[in-house]
Chain A
Amino acid sequence: MRTAGIDIGSITAKAAIVENGKILNTKVIFTGYNAEAAGLKVYEEVLKENSLSKSSVRKIVSTGYGRNSVKFADKSFTEIMCHAAGAHHLNAHIRSIIDIGGQDSKAIVLDDQGKVKNFVMNDKCAAGTGRFLEVMARALEVNLDEFGAISIKSKNPSKISSLCTVFAESEVISLIAKGEKRQDIIAGIHESIAARVSSMSARLGITEPIMVTGGVARNIGVVRALEKKLGMKIEVSSYAQVTGAIGAAFLAASL
């Protein structure tokens, strides 16, 4: 049986196709201003890459902030449920998930069946989310994709103490003016995100093995900073960014 999952986030739209328990293909595009159109587009593209027709897909589940605008989906679930299902299929041992997305971050604790036991979300503030990194990348004139690689060269991360993204940005600008090394500033930014996310996760009581999902998981600097802060080992799957879509596709198979 072939099923699909569509995850419409605030920054990117993701699609995944699974067939008989295996991931066939995944796709990521920018969401843009029209979530509905993005859902359709990412779905059509993922099918096209594998020369599949829409009629060959049995069920579709949507998730993410735009989940209700995916009109062609059979059902929608929240990202919490889908990240849990996705992580469980990628690695059945995972007991906790930290998902750092574009506009929020969450921690999820799973039971031994891979079902959601509890979750917390930070969605009040951009600090601790992908948006924070975007703002900082602009201030530093560095491509966000290079953030991870640059920051692990740092031996002496800068201190960023503001809790607010806007204040943190001016702090970063004054650090630049002071002539601090770019790698140190970026490492400091990562530590500040890690501090936010880890206190939220600790509040929930996360346990190992932990997987980080969401677009920010591709940033090795954030992952390392999180490991340091939590004092725990973290797994990152190569599917990190599309974990929600994969989970949605697996949930579609059990509809």
Chain B
Amino acid sequence: MVRFEHVGLSYPAPGRRSAAAVLHDVSFRVPEGGFRWLLGTSGAGKTSLLRLMYLAIRPTEGRLSVLETDITSARRGMLANLRRRIGVVFQDFRLLPHLSAFDNVALPLRIAGRSEGQIRADVAEMLRWVGLAGKLESPPETLSGGEQQRVAIARAVITRPRLLLADEPTGNLDEAQAERLMRLLQELSRLGTTVVVATHNEALASRHGAPALRLEHGRLVP
């Protein structure tokens, strides 16, 4: 499902000769339907590792395979198709500010060319489930941080992705909402979705026992 083999990542550093290396020799596998915590302090490289998995960047070293596709050698045109089967909850939500909550959640379905009738029913139900039934038409700027995060979560799962990646998804949620989200993620994993959740919140991870990938200064540690 996801396979890292000696993956290294450097961001191009304009003005400097040597690029800044962020990940070093990262190797691990996540099986279909697996659930993994991705732990590490701020700056350890969690977001960078997730960005590799949702194909926002390509590795600069090693081999990476996602959804049975070798990303290192895949043609650019194939990646868009893969991305549609990956759901992402971004650390900074990345909602489109000029679209309503409804249209933000509907966006991945429209990109995938689904029919509007289907979209209307699914999106409304999804937003009701995250407790935003009364805010379908609200633009993100009128929503609280927690509400925005719930819109971001709804957008990530609305397509029933095969791979779900969440970057600090509970950062703006209260305890009850966070627990509820964790149960959703584990339920999805049980039903076959592969899930990776990055967090610096060790307490949250220890409450929901699951294998963990631990990053320190860009390296996986046991």
Note whether A and B form a binding pair.
no
